Amino acid sequence: MIKKMIFSVLALSTVLVSCSSDDDNNSMEPTTSSLTLNLSGMEPLGANYVYEGWIIVDGAPVSTGTFSSVTFPQTFTVNTVQLSSATTFVLSIEPTNDLDPDPSATKILAGDFSGNAANVSTGIVGDFLNASGAYFLRTPTDENGTNNGNDENGIWFGTPGAPPTPNFNLPTLPNGWAYEGWVVGDSGPLSTGTFNMFDIVDHAAPFSETMQSGPPVPGEDFFLNAPAGETFPLDVRNRTVVISIEPVPDNSPAPFVMKPLVGVTGTATAPATHDLGLNLSSMPTGSVSR
């Protein structure tokens, strides 16, 4: 009987020690892990906006943290279980004081995990591999039906005609983004207006005359409201022309980092057209590791 009691006590002690060891081992398992971003081609967003990373876990977004610095690599602490289960990484642009727990519509980079790494690109914005476009020099907003001999003061994106027709080969942008045209003046870039469609007038005409409505393509004449450092009418010949992709809303008066099409105007006015060149090197890219 005494022997049985001794063996019972020893067995119970072994069980207790074993359970204690298991608990100790479990407590030593990490609950958080590191997520490292190594991105290139990013630019600061200013005081009102930040970048925010997200991992997609079981189809739902989980924030990995916000940042404003564009110096990389940067490392963030993320729940280990969620990070190991994540299938995709997404980077969005968010208001600095953001009360919405979900990602905004303005998503700039994304990529699927393969093992412990994900290559991210702007494919979530659109495929610009075959992007193209052209423009012509003309001043339709002051012509009143006639050519006043000042076509070097306006630029319109399309093919001249009656009416002009669009000739962009660009993807339709998702919500949160808009295209914007630019001409680089003497003091910096001048906007020709934002647009999401290619066969209607763009969303603004800050410098055009008002004698005639603009044609049904994006563009601008440079006659009115010259900014400091500029002299209007502006001769747009031999100037840099840019099509950028802008976040919406946009709090910067300068072009955003993504500029898929760039060109330099020649000297010929309409009916001549000028092609824009592909500028994929402006598109941010990078990798994410866990």
Determine contact, residues 156/215, Cβ cutoff 8 Å. yes
Q: Which amino acid is at 165?
A: T
Q: How many helices (H) and strands (E) does the chain have?
A: 2, 17
Nearest CA among 63, 89, 90 for reference residue 78: 63
**What would the DSSP string read from start to end of 151-200?**
GGGEEESSB-SSS-B---B-PPPPTTEEEEEEEE-SSSEEEEEEES-SSS
Identify which of 273, 244, 62 has the alpha carbon closest to the alpha carbon of residue 164. Answer: 273
Query: Domain for residue 241, yes or no?
Result: no
| Assigned domain for 52 exists | yes
Residue 63 falls inside a structural domain:
yes
In-domain check, residue 91: yes
The model's pTM: 0.87
* pLDDT of the residue at 26: 52
Predicted local distance difference test score (pLDDT) of residue 28:
63
- Under-50 pLDDT residues of the chain: 1-25
**Dihedral angle over CA of 138, 142, 148, 149, nearest 10:** -30
pLDDT at 144: 62
Quick one: pLDDT at residue 14? Answer: 41
47: in domain: yes
- pLDDT tens for each residue of 8-32: 433 434 433 444 444 444 556 679 9
In a domain, 267, yes or no: no
Residue with tokens 């099509």: 243
User: Collapsing DSSP states into helix, strand and coil, what is residue 10?
Assistant: helix
In this structure, is residue 51 part of a structural domain?
yes
Q: Is residue 19 part of a domain?
A: no
**Rounded CA gap, 75 and 63, in Å?**
14
pLDDT in tens, 208-234: 987 777 899 999 999 999 999 999 999
- Per-residue confidence (pLDDT) for residue 13, from 0 to 100: 43
Give the structural domain span for 100.
32-126
Pairing status of strand 117-120 against strand 261-264: unpaired
Number of structural domains in the chain: 1
Going by the DSSP 8-state scheme, the letter that residue 146 receives in this structure is S
pLDDT at 12: 39
Distance CA 287, CA 62 (A): 18
